Chains A and B, each alone.
Chain A
Amino acid sequence: MTTHPTLAVLTCYAEGGSGLDDATVWSVEVHLEGCPQCRAGLAGATADGTRALLERVATGLAGGIAAGPAPARRRRLWSAVHRRWLVWALLPWLTMTGAVLGCAVLLQSLQPGLPSLVLLLAPVAPLPGVAVAWSRRADPAWELIAGTPAAGLTMLLRRTASVLALVVPVLVLAGARSGVSLALVLLPCLAFTAATIALGAMVGVRRAAAGVGALWAAAVVLPSVVTEKLPVFLEPGSAPAWSVAIVALAAFAVSRADGYRRLSSHN
């Protein structure tokens, strides 16, 4: 509507529009939504009674806003972390992981003949955290969350990412202190996390973490400590093999992602 309504039409509209037909009233309203000039003209043409009413409404609203609840405070980043239940549930497990890795570094310095304990323990370091992140015993609102659209592999990956964000710096520190290759510390760790997530879709994340950890401890850590030799998979040239394993396990986990959508008896 490019033509502006006349002053007579605006005055009639301001007084209630009784002299105008419906089509004119509608077209004036639509025009006023987009034309500040005519709005100013309308403001000038309002009757005294309308002006008094508008002032009463404005004072009433201001009083209501002053008396009502205050606007919600903007949350800062540190308080968002402080409130996350996952951080508090993970704290004991992370302290344990840090202490175990610290002991491994200490033992390494005291007994240089032993194979690198940090390398042997790094793959299973994030597993307790991953098990806690997706367990109905640690998460009180489990049943509520299981029925939401966001529940599924994406949520588990988000939680696992926060676990890894806390575990990986500890691993890097321990690896740097004991002088081993960082790729050999981090790649098996990621591969085992991917394996736990992939298996967890079928048997439950807690069972998968416990099973993978126990298998690694029994089949690799114990024999290597006893024979004082690093196993073949942790030799310096095995980094590409671990990368391939990570990609394969991740693809397998994505293909079984359906298992994470429902509350099953395993999880």
Chain B
Amino acid sequence: MRTVSAAETAPTTHPWAVHAEGLRVRAGRHLAVDGLDLALGAGVHGLLGPNGAGKTTLIRALATVVRPAGGRLRLLGEPVDGRADLRRVRRGLGYLPQQFGFYPRFTVREFVEYMAWLKEMPKSMVPGAVQRAIDRVGLTSKANARMKTLSGGMLRRAGIAQAVVNDPEVLLLDEPTVGLDPEQRLDFRELLRDVGLDSCVLVSTHLVEDVVAACSDVVMINEGRLVYQGTPDDLIAQGGTGDAGDSPAERGYSALLRRHRSEAGR
């Protein structure tokens, strides 16, 4: 439970939380995202795609960590390409990168507090928000342990805690379930559903069952372009018995990928 400010309950004037038109982003010299059109509103969106499809680069561009090379990108109604002032947009973002670096000597609480301070949260709100974030990810018993003593799954959960500490309107998670055991994955799906009620969550993952269970919307990209966007049930409907996969969702995924590759090859 937390207090909600008047600014949060005010109606929004932007149609989409994340709106990309013809987005192009470079990773090094390679154009990893090449002409992507994406519109995401509130809810949990799963980002699927083969390795090298540009998922991490897309999430980095949405987190305003790298500048797009071309196209238009609007986050929470504000343009973030070019020379815009990013501070206001970044206060409403939460980001967990794939290679999550941390300071080993910090305790979990200190780390989440430091990130809350970096996100320019009001000082009076920080201790309560930090405790709430730590409780939500289930690290209450380890809140005062040094980060170098944590296991991989606990580190990942600490990363998720720092991403949700400021109750962001756009939450970007790159492979958040790496290292989590099945019970922790179930708790994480609960957390996703809770956060996705009124913010836009984009989860990039390789686990198709996580996407089907927790996501209200599936976005598939391949080679930097949008292949498919729709509900998980529609994804399942795309696959038939002839496609590769052990579950209906995997069959739908491989069917869409095969179709896209044959169309691109033509």
Contacts and interface: CB of A to CB of B under 8 A. Distances in A.
Contact of A147 (B83, B93, B120): B93
Given A144-B97, A148-B90, A149-B86, A262 B102 contact: no
Interface stretch (B62-70, B212-220, B223-231, B242-250): B62-70
Interface string B65-107: 1110000000000000001001110110101010111111110
Interface in B103-154: 103-106, 109-110, 115, 117-120, 127, 140, 143-144
Interface string B31-74: 00000000000000000000000000000100111110000000
A150 B101 contact: no
A226 interface: no
The residue among A143, A145, A148, A265 with the most chain B CB atoms within 10 A of its own CB is A148
B65 A83 contact: no
A141 B102 contact: yes
Given A72-B109, A140-B102, A141-B101, A147 B140 contact: no
A145 B118 contact: yes
B102 A147 contact: no
A90 to B, nearest CB: 14
A1 to B, nearest CB: 24
Contacts of A31: none
B67 A143 contact: no
A142 B88 CA distance: 20
Given A88-B105, A147-B93, A150-B120, A263 B65 contact: yes
A149 B106 contact: no
Contacts of B86: 149, 261
Nearest to B64: A147
Interface string A50-85: 000000000000000000010010000000000101
Given A147-B65, A148-B90, A69 B140 contact: yes
A103 to B, nearest CB: 32
Nearest to B96: A144
Interface extent on B, as a size class?
35 or more
A141 B67 CA distance: 19
Contact of B103 (A141, A143, A146): A141
A143 B99 contact: yes
Nearest to B117: A150
Given A145-B118, A265-B28, A140 B90 contact: no
B204 interface: no
B162 interface: yes
A218 to B, nearest CB: 31
Nearest to A86: B103
B105 A143 contact: no
A151 interface: yes
A88 B104 CA distance: 11
Contact of B87 (A88, A149, A264, A265): A149
A258 interface: yes
B137 to A, nearest CB: 16
Interface string B197-223: 000000000000000000000000000
6 contacts: A72-B144, A143-B60, A144-B162, A147-B63, A148-B120, A264-B67
